[in-house]
Structure 1
């Protein structure tokens, strides 16, 4: 799906997504990641997309519905986030061990499979534990997202190691577990022509000589027209997501200044107009009417910046995406 098709599909389905935000809460760690990106104004992600999948949990088993993950995306990192609470008094024990298993079957016996990670956790603390499970999730994606769940097993130390299991937490803190997948859709974006480099176009002296008078008369005419038509410049263009019906699925921001380019590109084009060599030649051809259909250069964005958007996808998962080419940061004559 191209970027254009993505935004078109979003626009067509906006009514279906209007009330999503009222049904699903945004994980705090996703909000913090979004705010860090917004503050830095640059992409710090491993890729350009972060998807958070809330676990469908039953006791210690955590299943994830990955049907909304797009197969054309490349997984760069995957994390299992599990929230652990303070444990009740456990005598002399200060630590307990947590192990993660990939569930390979759903038979009558304890369906432990591959061990994905383990660590010691202090009894008297609480917080998120993050396990890197990139290899396993990549395998799931290749199998169309199929997984039997992740099993979390906690045990207290004993004389024979860690053998006695302890009761898992059933507290509610948003949810007890998430799968977070970092990916890159590897879209190739059109690269705008370079800014004015200072290099001049080689035009013969015989051509320049008769142009001198034309340049001088054009400069005088431009001064008289300046009050009627301003030269190429950037103006404000605020996009309010609520007004276009997207506030129900976009979590943050509520809107942003995309900016717009307006004004004329009158001959001769000086350095301040950031004109390309192509635009300079085109302006000369236009003023000489060679050929008749040669049009004037246009005032357009010549540099675009990205923004990050936090939103709900069609499965109500919270997604953070770094979108390129969303803000016109400067304008020029092209």
Structure 2
């Protein structure tokens, strides 16, 4: 059997909307649960994050970064813009002094390597004109605030004049989470690279196919149309077809910010002799199609219609701590198809 793009992603085709899942027989609910678990593995997660307890606006910096990296469907348009494959933003959790900040980094996985970090602070204007003028030229130094070698209490910022004198907090002030708009809150941004392990499709899911009793209505319509055209489809050459992944149907729209879904595409069609250039065959596929057509060897099937170019997508979402994360996933969209 020919292997096609993202066997685990194709499991999306059998998902019901969450409000319909309760009507499924016990066995089918178990299969659906397994499918969702495998899909989470594709996205590098054990469990789906909880939706935020209250409506939250993502930091504008993260929205701008996502829009710079991805198109409207989340497909990467500037692959070299990110450092690593994950960007995590953390808002200040401290409620104390002006120049001390606390960021809870417990959500950073052990498999992530921190490549760089940015501390985003919004400096407020001086209260008096003479104060602003006198201390206009200064610089900030950021220190790790530790109690001992085993604990890290956060970050402390020290503001000094060019002469090396520490200034008073009255002259240089930063916006705080307690007193200012969310767009001006102190934020720590980490650029990390997460190790990814490939997943395999278990036999129980591999054999579900399109005969599973809880295929969504949209897919049932597509299948009925395909059955009416079985003969013509058999002779259609290898092509790329639409395969839309709807995060709302899966029940993930509460924690995913963007995109709302994306077109993964899939490859379908015959790779029979003679293979034209439009089917983008490899030399091996061409030879295999000849052997198959002439029956020169037993058990030699025709080549497979599979993706020969894959694109990455980007997900912007809330994690369990309500931090906003931008993560890039490789090989999620079939860019083109060919006979191999």
Kindly tell me the number of residue pairs found equivalent between the two proteins.
257
Distance in 2, matches of 1:165 and 1:46, equals: 34
Structure 1 residue 30: deviation in Å?
0.3
Distance in 1, matches of 2:248 and 2:305, equals: 29
What residue number does 1:185 align with? 194
TM-score, normalised with respect to structure 1: 0.67
Where in structure 1 do 4 or more consecutive aligned residues deviate above 6 Å?
157-160
Distance in 2, matches of 1:67 and 1:84, equals: 27
What residue number does 1:100 align with? 142
| Aligned with residue 245 of structure 2, among 236, 239, 243 | 239
Distance in 1, matches of 2:299 and 2:58, equals: 55
Coordinate RMSD, CA, aligned:
3.2
Question: Structure 2: which 5+ runs fail to align?
Answer: 1-7, 9-36, 200-230
Flag the structure with larger Rg: 1
Alignment of 1:33-44 (within 5 A): 33-39=65-71, 41-43=77-79, 44=81
What secondary structure is seen at the aligned counterpart in 2 of 1:242?
helix
Distance in 2, matches of 1:160 and 1:301, equals: 60
Structure 1 residue 56: deviation in Å?
0.9
Higher strand share: 1
| Aligned with residue 314 of structure 1, among 320, 326, 332 | 320
TM-score, normalised with respect to structure 2: 0.66
Structure 1 residue 90: deviation in Å?
4.2
Matching of residue 55 in structure 1 with residue 92 in structure 2: yes
| Aligned with residue 87 of structure 1, among 121, 126, 130 | 126
Structure 1 residue 101: deviation in Å?
2.6
Matching of residue 8 in structure 1 with residue 40 in structure 2: yes
Matching of residue 75 in structure 1 with residue 81 in structure 2: no
What secondary structure is seen at the aligned counterpart in 1 of 2:313?
strand
Structure 1 residue 64: deviation in Å?
1.6
Structure 1 residue 313: deviation in Å?
2.1
Structure 1 residue 189: deviation in Å?
7.6
Residue 294 to residue 324, structure 1, CA distance change in 2 (3 Å): same
Higher helix share: 2
Structure 1 residue 285: deviation in Å?
2.5
